[in-house]
Amino acid sequence: MEQNCPPNTNYISQHEENGSRGRPPSRALHPQRHVPFSAAECNVIQKELDRPLEPEHITYRPSGQGQVAYLEGWKSLQLANEVFGFNGWSSEILSLTTDFLDTDSTGRVSLGMSCMVRVHLRDGTFHDVRIIQASIDVIGYWLWFCRESKKQGGCI
Contact in structure between 121 and 46 (CB atoms under 8 Å): no
Q: What is the mean pLDDT of residues 139-143?
A: 57
Domains of the chain: 36-153 (3.30.390.80)
List beta partners, residue 12: 126
| 19-66 tens-digit pLDDT | 434 444 444 444 557 899 999 999 999 999 999 999 999 999 887 778
- Rounded alpha-carbon distances, angstroms, from residue 11 to 44, 64, 126, 143, 148: 17, 35, 5, 34, 27
